[in-house]
Structure 1
Amino acid sequence: MPDDPKILALYLAHRGELVSYANKLIGDMAHAEDVVQEAYLRFEKASGDRVLEEPLAYLYRIVRNLSFDQSHRAGVERGRQIDNSAAVLPHLRDCRPSPENEAEARQELMALSLAMADLPEANRKALELHRFDGLTVRQIAERMGISVGSAHALVVNALDHCRERMFRR
């Protein structure tokens, strides 16, 4: 049924991870956000049509398929633009960030580094494996020799800690 609170809660609980997943596949955060939004609309419709045995896996599959579609469309568009690129290149401005943006990014990176340094070793390791190495929670559990639930808790607690520290600054 549309507007099912369980479906919305599942989506909201995993939205950040879905955007990160789509961003890894597409390489563009703005398009990743669009893909995840479209995935939710399709997911909501599908969940109203039938009972989903693995709703989270189904949602990830929708994100993956939409990401591949987006990448394909972008590749086709780039192919069309190659002919025009020679005329455009001389007019491109320097793509470097402004000194202010660079300084702000450095400050955010330092704050994140400090937040991660405050984490207990297991939380920090789980977060690094998840965010930097791209491991799933199941893979983290296997690598660290802990249960999947414990691995999930380590990652969630580490993310919460870092978010709190980043927003507090």
Structure 2
Amino acid sequence: MEQKNFPADVFEAHRPRLTAVAQRMLGSRSDADDAVQEAWLRANRAGADEVDNLAGWLTTIVARVCLTMLRSRTSRREEPLPERDPAGDESPEHQAVEADAVGVALLVVLDTLTPAERLAFVLHDMFGVPFEEIAPIVDRTPAAARQLASRARRRVRGVPTDQPADPGRVRGVPTDRPAEPQQRRDVVRAFLAASREGDFAGLLAVLAPDVVVRADAVAVAAGSSAEVRGAQAVAQNFLGRARAAVEALVDGAPGAAWLVDGTVRVVFEFTFDGAAITAIDLRMDPAAIAAIEVDA
């Protein structure tokens, strides 16, 4: 039987990113190194002759190894920071991991997540892996994988950080948590009130000039426009039409929802620039709504 081999130099080129993925999954440099080594053995056995996306393929292998390691842990240990080589490690791989190191507080929160939640959050929110690729790793549908990440994201938001790079990030982890959530809630409240009361000027006051409203396929089938652009057009579109909508937290962010007999039928996801609404996404697809956490 022909032995398959994976080029060592190719794997080494991907090692820094794979180690960063593994460390954020496992919370330990030594465990991350073990996971990456196991990924190398698996990749070497499998070969990569027919692999189009090597980075994605290798990330998937590392993620599966990490998931197995997380599930096999009989007890949680608090090991929030990567171990340092007493002699000092100045290799590019070590520097890459150190540069992307996760703060203590975030690792403590990640340690409270289930293995599947942790994997979905780390891969998607930290490394941009699509839910379609995450789903088979955790044996879920893409919508369910999205929900796993959403639950994890809600726990991560608000975690105090050690010298964060900027106020909109959790130690290098992008979040959509607004800097002033109360202000955003006030904007949503003003938008809904102006819409109900037919207050055109009130709507214009909270809309950015280039605001856009996007509707999913189900909403379009129900009569909504697929896309509406510009403050004047958006204000006219919502004039007197949000009477049944209520304020809600949508995946932890200020938004709105329309409920029928306690069931969410429409979700309004808002994007802001300061105190101005720059985008509104209408979700009516039941599958999409099921993957969103709505607190109305």
Q: What's the TM-score bracket when you normalise by the shorter of the two chains?
A: 0.3 to 0.5
| TM-score w.r.t. length of structure 1 | 0.42
Greater share of strand residues, 1 or 2?
2
Larger Rg: 2
Greater share of helix residues, 1 or 2?
1
The structure showing larger relative contact order (alpha-carbon pairs under 8 Å, at least 6 residues apart) is: 1
| TM-score w.r.t. length of structure 2 | 0.25
